Amino acid sequence: MWDPRELQHRVKEVGADLRSVPYFMRKRGVLCLRLGPVDFRAANALKQELLARGGDAVVHGGAIAGTVYRTRVILMGTPGQLRSLQEKLAHMPYFGLEEVRSGLKAALDNLDISNWEVPLPGGRVLSLGRITKVMGIINLTPDSFFPGSRHQGPDGALETAERMLSQGAHVLDLGAESTRPGSDPVSPEEELTRMLPPLRAIRREFPEAVISVDTYRSATARACAAEGADMVNDISGLSFDPEMARTVADSGCALVLMHIKGRPKDMQQNPTYRDLLGEISDFFEHQMDLAERGGIPRDRIILDPGIGFGKTYQHNLEILRQLEAFSTHGRPILIGASRKSTVGIATDSKDPEDRLEGTLAITSLCAMRGIALVRVHDVEENVKTIKMIEAVKEAGL
């Protein structure tokens, strides 16, 4: 539910009269779905149909008079009111309303999904959705931004994996190349040299563990899948390597499809967005379509909005404040904010070593909002935080 500042910002963004904010405030405790620019006649029809059902729509102030040709729209209504609107739009095949109806139906259908069975190789599944689950980070690099997460060689990685699994980690995420802002890529050969021995050791010792590999290279993903990896965590969301979709499809691995703007070397050089949440959502839809064309069914995809990857501090906070914006895609959401600079700025903690409390606050937020998976350095502390939140959520039920 949008707070007053958020609602005023969105009303202004649409171009509506700001004097309408107090009126819309009375209706903010309902679903608010944003549409891209539509024909002004469609916008007027949507507003009238929702008003007739007890809902409303925010449109540009010039839409009624027709002084603007297209306008963004915020649909405001209960699920029942919006379902009724969707049904009525089936009888209104004009002004682009059929496309609106299709998108509205998909969004409402997806909002009803809260549990997922993500297929993994070998017939196993990763169950997500009832409670927030934890992905533990195992960095096989000498230069990751948080020194406490660096584990070089199979022995160190194996020890960390054992500890994380005993503490309640549901997924282990192995990464052999630092993708911190400003980092340079390593060679494909070096990535595999770092990745494969620990992967083999962990798979051998923990055959039932769910193992993810953090890579954007199809060759690395292919080699890791052959050694028992269950999931590919691609920070590029299939945008860096044109062979990645087919590789993941052939492997049977699940896919974490992350949003990024730019590349790690330059992604924090003044990233800008016209519509942050809308652009991330458009990226997800486009890349999921690409994944499906490459042979990856949507039920194997997890979405990650990419905290810190081509986003400013304010961008990251907006994503965290509006986590529900991505639920219309119908896929589980992963949030990876552990000890990142956003936590450091918010808590005045320059050293990543001092960012645990801020990270736990974000994990609490994610658990309250029903986020499926959090990617963290400190498994035990985050698992306990989620248990506390779940206890509060379940109290009296």
Catalytic residue (one of 34, 72, 261, 375): 375
Torsion of CA 84, 86, 88, 89, to 10 degrees: 160
By residue count, the chain amounts to: 397
Which of 34, 331, 340, 355 is the catalytic position? 340
Token duo for residue 260: 């990024």
CB 192, CB 134: distance < 8 Å: no
Query: For residue 128, what is the enclosing H or E element?
Result: strand 125-128
Decide if 133 is catalytic.
no
CA–CA separation, 197 vs 222, rounded Å?
Answer: 15
Structure tokens belonging to residue 219: 């060759």
340 catalytic? Reply is yes
CB 355 within 8 A of CB 333: no
Q: Which residues of 83-115 are buried (b: 16+ CB within 10 A; e: fewer)?
A: bbbbebbeebeebebeebbeebbebbeebeeee
Tell me the C-alpha distance between 76 and 57, whole Å: 6
Give the integer Cα–Cα distance in Å for 53 and 67: 27
Enter the tokens of residue 246: 């087919």
Kindly list the catalytic residues: 340, 375
